[in-house]
């Protein structure tokens, strides 16, 4: 009989930790414990592996911004202090920072699972992601559809033709370009559209509590088409939220080569490379002659998202750790 993997989830070191990731880990680990795949334990000593999720600044703190630098340095110090007595062979870091920067030294942890494992380079109106050569020892990590927080909405009447929840941003001009393009499309005049953010979104008051805003989710539930623009990192949680709402998602190209089965443009959602292609996809989706094909994409995207719930994300992580434990035992013989 295979011995259960013993897992300890380390307490968050401060308020900058990511509540969404913590919730993903807790839900996934509890599900795997019910499957008798793992055993959750209360101490580091009793564990085969110790997991800690961390969140650093989404944007590098500017050298001239002393307050941001102090907060960043304090957070890093708290994280390093929290892990200083944990053996490297046991430590697993799940880093959901939006940049490709890695602040916890790779040699401190057996495994690092990292959101945004792609560097970004400018390319015309948008930013393209290219594989970073330095990440041979880093495993990709992405959001998962949280249940029950993310409810499936495929049966709710969809009376909003197009919803774009993108917020204007002084730095990410490509988001502004998408908003301006949508607002300038005269072809949308006869449709019900909501263009722009309808709630604060993200982290509430810069703390770790995610905003599960009823107004935002209500708009997603009623939207036939959701237009996203996530140019700097692989995706945002809004991708999963939109797919779980059984909306047709139109977003710029994503790098999901590591996910199996892959999310595919044209099958689960529609991808655009420039603003012209964005317009083409919108007009295609609004054309009643394409309604049957659009509905197929919507439901396939919904099915894909629901197949990537916390238990799926955490099973991917546990499989890596189980392989590591088996290799360790073989080497000790």
What gap in Å lies between CA 200 and CA 38, rounded to an integer?
A: 37
Instruction: List pLDDT tens digits, range 263-296.
Output: 788 899 999 989 999 999 999 999 999 999 999 9
> For residue 213, what are the contacts with CB-CB under 8 A and spacing of at least 6?
198, 199, 200, 201
- Residue of 183, 140, 133 whose CA lies nearest to 162: 183
Which of the residues in the chain have pLDDT under 70? 1-2, 12-20, 56-69, 72, 98-100, 116-137, 143, 146-155, 171-172, 200-213, 230-236, 255-261, 328-333
Question: Does residue 50 contact residue 11 with C-beta atoms inside 8 Å?
Answer: no
What gap in Å lies between CA 307 and CA 285, rounded to an integer?
A: 24
Write down the pLDDT at residue 264.
80
b/e per residue, 259-288, with b = 16+ CB within 10 A?
A: beeebebeebbbbbeebeebbebbeebbee
Write down the pLDDT at residue 226.
95
Write down the pLDDT at residue 290.
97
> Rounded to the nearest 10 degrees, how much is the dihedral formed by the CA atoms of 282, 202, 78, 321?
-50
Q: What is the number of H-type helices and E-type strands within the chain? A: 8, 13
What gap in Å lies between CA 91 and CA 85, rounded to an integer?
A: 10
Query: Cis link prior to 250 (omega < 30° from 0)?
Result: no
Write down the pLDDT at residue 244.
86
Write down the pLDDT at residue 168.
82
pTM beyond 0.85: no
Distances (CA, A) of 91 to 82, 113, 127, 225, 318: 11, 11, 33, 42, 13
R_g of the chain, CA atoms, integer Å: 21
Write down the pLDDT at residue 259.
58
Instruction: List pLDDT tens digits, range 299-315.
Output: 999 988 888 888 888 99
What gap in Å lies between CA 132 and CA 14, rounded to an integer?
A: 29
Write down the pLDDT at residue 74.
77
Write down the pLDDT at residue 33.
94
């Amino acid at each position: 009989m295979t011995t259960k993997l013993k897992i300890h989830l380390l307490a968050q070191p401060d308020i900058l930790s990511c509540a969404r990731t913590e919730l993903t880990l807790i839900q996934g680990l509890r599900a795997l414990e019910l499957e008798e795949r793992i055993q959750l334990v209360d101490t580091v000593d009793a564990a085969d592996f110790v997991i800690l999720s961390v969140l650093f600044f989404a944007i590098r703190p500017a050298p001239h911004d002393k307050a941001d630098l102090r907060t960043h340095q304090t957070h890093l110090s708290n994280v390093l202090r929290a892990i200083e007595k944990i053996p490297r062979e046991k430590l697993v870091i799940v880093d959901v920072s939006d940049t490709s920067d890695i602040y916890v030294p790779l040699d401190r942890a057996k495994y690092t699972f990292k959101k945004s494992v792609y560097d970004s380079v400018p390319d015309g109106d948008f930013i393209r992601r290219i594989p970073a050569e330095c990440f041979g020892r880093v495993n990709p990590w992405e959001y998962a559809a949280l249940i029950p927080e993310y409810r499936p909405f495929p049966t709710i009447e969809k009376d909003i033709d197009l919803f774009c929840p993108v917020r204007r941003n002084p730095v990410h001009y490509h988001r502004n370009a998408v908003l301006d393009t949508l607002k300038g499309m005269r072809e949308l005049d006869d449709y019900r559209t909501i263009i722009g953010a309808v709630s604060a979104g993200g982290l509430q008051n810069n703390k770790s509590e995610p905003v599960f805003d009823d107004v935002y989710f209500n708009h997603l539930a009623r939207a036939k088409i959701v237009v996203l623009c996530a140019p700097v990192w692989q995706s945002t949680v809004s991708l999963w939220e939109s797919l779980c709402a059984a909306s047709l998602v139109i977003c710029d190209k994503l790098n999901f080569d590591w996910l199996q089965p892959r999310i595919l443009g044209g099958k689960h959602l529609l991808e655009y490379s420039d603003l012209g292609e964005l317009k083409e996809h919108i007009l295609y989706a609004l054309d009643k002659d394409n309604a049957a094909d659009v509905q197929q994409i919507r439901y396939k995207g919904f099915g894909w998202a629901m197949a990537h719930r916390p238990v799926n994300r955490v099973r991917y992580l546990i499989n890596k750790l189980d392989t590591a434990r088996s290799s360790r035992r073989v080497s000790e013989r």
